[in-house]
Amino acid sequence: MKPSPPAIEHPMCHDHSLVFLKKREVEVPCEACKKSIDGPSYSCLECIHVYFHLDCVHLSKEMYHPCHPSYPLEVAEESEKNNQDAEKSCHFCAFQPEKKVCYHCYVCTFTMCFGCIKNPPPLVIENTKTHKHPLRLLLSRIAFTCKVCGIEGYRSKPYICVKCDFLVHGDCIGLPRVININRHDHQISFTQHLGRRGTQCGFCWRDVSQYHGAYFCSVCPNYTVHSLCAFNDNAWDGVDLEGIPERSEDISPFKVVGHNLIHHFSHNKHTLRLLKDNVDIQDDECIRCEACIHPVQVGQIYSCTECCFVLHEKCANLPMMKRFPFDRAPYMLECDRSATYCKLCGMLCAGFRYTSERDMLRYHYIDVNCGSLFEPFSHNAHSHTLYFVISENNYCDACKRVPHDYMLRCDKCDFDLCLYCVTLPEKIWHMCDEHPLTLSCDGNMSGKTGAGATFVRVN
Ligand SMILES: [Zn+2]
Ligand SMILES: [Zn+2]
Ligand SMILES: [Zn+2]
Ligand SMILES: [Zn+2]
Ligand SMILES: [Zn+2]
Ligand SMILES: [Zn+2]
Ligand SMILES: [Zn+2]
Ligand SMILES: [Zn+2]
């Protein structure tokens, strides 16, 4: 290889002359191909922070490229900018490069960026998870509906199997077929044709077409997710689970040891019995569920056969492992009773909690009240269902505070509830009144103009 000249007078890719630089300590992006430069580079002394890869500077002004075999490609000139008909963005990656740092075919108005010239998409892809036959890159620009993500229109890099009339985006090839997302406790699997399963996406809650590819849960018949929603950075942990069997028994918090009798992981010295009608303790406000710390006044409970240990039936059924929209990592149920603050509602929690280990031994805790919330969520305070969103300075329509993290929202009505207010119990005993107080939300809680929630005494 011949040594790089110390300076280049009239480079093809830049208006000023460029000088050779040795490897820099910090990596900078190349002005031409936008990829980072980790070796020596050429830099412009007149413009600040303009660097080029050595090979980007040395690309020839005109070339034949396998991705556009019929005519030569030329480095696009400045004058092309004003040509309305000329294709402005790269045919393959849709990036819109500056003139002088892209190639153009003046016969077909075909444009290719430097990055794709250097690393072109493969002309044929074989042995993919997505399709049983080899897929061939389509070199002309066509509008189509991708068989995997279901999105239609012009998007980059269409691949085709002519035999099956199968068209797919290059970016959608090889997506894993079995994954976990943090909106659902079971694994979800990809299918080419959803068919008559669910019709609503469990991530964005928009419609899912039965004619395109999507993810579905084999346990829950109606649970489906758009392919692209499943790969949202906030949902998928990046792990491909194909071939790894799902182990549902791992998340069960108890073993059945007899008729209505269980051994719960949180109380392993004695057996708990299911009481269908908890008459004995109905009026005793002091007996609280060990998991959620709320009094056990309503509903079925599990009560210890030998000591004073009680769990709501729903709290006894909380799974050992759970996934939340708030995090990509799964959370584990713990019952060690040390007091911690719930990351979502900010309340001190002394009952069970869900824990996720962070880096540097930092933990995130979610109490079981927040951990039992699910989407779509119905609350007495609002007539529509609510969905989790990041609060983004929206205030809660009940307490008027701005939560620091997540809240539940109805988009239609601009109605928000913070997780502190959402998890308030429906009924409480307060020392100021001998009767129970019931949560009242009837102050027209329909949007940002509504009144807050209060506890009122009902007779
Ligand atoms: Zn470059
Ligand atoms: Zn490109
Ligand atoms: Zn095929
Ligand atoms: Zn979706
Ligand atoms: Zn499921
Ligand atoms: Zn409970
Ligand atoms: Zn909480
Ligand atoms: Zn609403």
181-236 pLDDT per residue, tens: 988 888 999 888 878 777 889 888 888 888 888 899 988 888 999 988 998 888 89
This complex has an ipTM of 0.61
Residue 305 has pLDDT above 80, yes or no: yes
Residue 321 has pLDDT above 90, yes or no: no
Which ligand gives the minimal distance to the CA of 340? Answer: 7
Task: Tell me if 401 is assigned to some domain.
Answer: yes
Which ligand gives the minimal distance to the CA of 149? Answer: 4
Domain boundary among 316, 331, 353: 316
Which ligand gives the minimal distance to the CA of 447? Answer: 8
Cα(155) to ligand 1 centroid in Å equals 24
Task: Tell me if 105 is assigned to some domain.
Answer: yes
Task: Tell me if 177 is assigned to some domain.
Answer: no
Q: What is the pLDDT of residue 459?
A: 40
Note whether 393 and 452 are same-domain residues. Answer: yes
Which ligand gives the minimal distance to the CA of 31? Answer: 1
* CA distances to 185, 262, 273 from 334, in Å: 17, 18, 21
Q: Which residue has the tokens 């009837």?
A: 442
Note whether 97 and 75 are same-domain residues. Answer: yes
Note whether 392 and 364 are same-domain residues. Answer: no
pLDDT confidence band for 274 (50 / 70 / 90): very high
Cα(428) to ligand 4 centroid in Å equals 39
pLDDT per residue as tens digits for the range 115-153 = 899 889 999 999 888 889 999 998 887 888 888 888 877
Cα(388) to ligand 8 centroid in Å equals 13
Task: Tell me if 355 is assigned to some domain.
Answer: yes
Note whether 50 and 104 are same-domain residues. Answer: no
Task: Tell me if 396 is assigned to some domain.
Answer: yes
Residue 273 has pLDDT above 90, yes or no: yes
Cα(393) to ligand 7 centroid in Å equals 19
Which ligand gives the minimal distance to the CA of 289? Answer: 6
* CA distances to 290, 369, 450 from 346, in Å: 19, 12, 24
Task: Tell me if 1 is assigned to some domain.
Answer: no
Q: What is the pLDDT of residue 458?
A: 46
Task: Tell me if 111 is assigned to some domain.
Answer: yes
Domain boundary among 290, 316, 342: 316
Q: What share of the chain in percent tops pLDDT 90?
A: 19
Residue 47 has pLDDT above 80, yes or no: yes
Q: What is the mean pLDDT of the chain?
A: 83
Q: What is the pLDDT of residue 137?
A: 93
Note whether 289 and 305 are same-domain residues. Answer: yes
Q: How far apart are CA 272 and CA 313, in angstroms?
A: 11
Which ligand gives the minimal distance to the CA of 41? Answer: 1
Cα(217) to ligand 4 centroid in Å equals 14
Residue ranges with CB less than 5 Å from ion ligand 7: 342, 344-345, 367, 370
* Pairwise pLDDT comparison (332 vs 445), residue with the higher score: 332
How many independent structural domains does the chain possess? 6
Q: Which of 12-21, 95-104, 378-387, 445-454 has the lowest mean pLDDT?
A: 445-454
Q: What is the pLDDT of residue 444?
A: 46
Cα(65) to ligand 1 centroid in Å equals 17
294 and 286 Cβ atoms separated by less than 8 Å: no
Which ligand gives the minimal distance to the CA of 113? Answer: 2
Cα(172) to ligand 3 centroid in Å equals 15
pLDDT confidence band for 249 (50 / 70 / 90): low
Task: Tell me if 189 is assigned to some domain.
Answer: no
Q: Which range, 17-26, 258-267, 388-397, has the best average confidence (pLDDT)? A: 258-267
Cα(101) to ligand 3 centroid in Å equals 37
pLDDT confidence band for 315 (50 / 70 / 90): very high
Could you list the residue range(s) of the whole structural domain that residue 304 is in? 249-316
pLDDT confidence band for 91 (50 / 70 / 90): confident
Q: Which of 69-78, 285-294, 450-459 has the lowest mean pLDDT?
A: 450-459
pLDDT per residue as tens digits for the range 326-370 = 888 888 899 887 888 888 888 888 899 998 866 555 678 899 999
Note whether 332 and 366 are same-domain residues. Answer: yes
Cα(128) to ligand 3 centroid in Å equals 11
Which ligand gives the minimal distance to the CA of 317? Answer: 6
Cα(5) to ligand 5 centroid in Å equals 62
Note whether 97 and 130 are same-domain residues. Answer: no
Residue ranges with CB less than 5 Å from ion ligand 8: 384, 410, 412-413
Cα(216) to ligand 5 centroid in Å equals 8
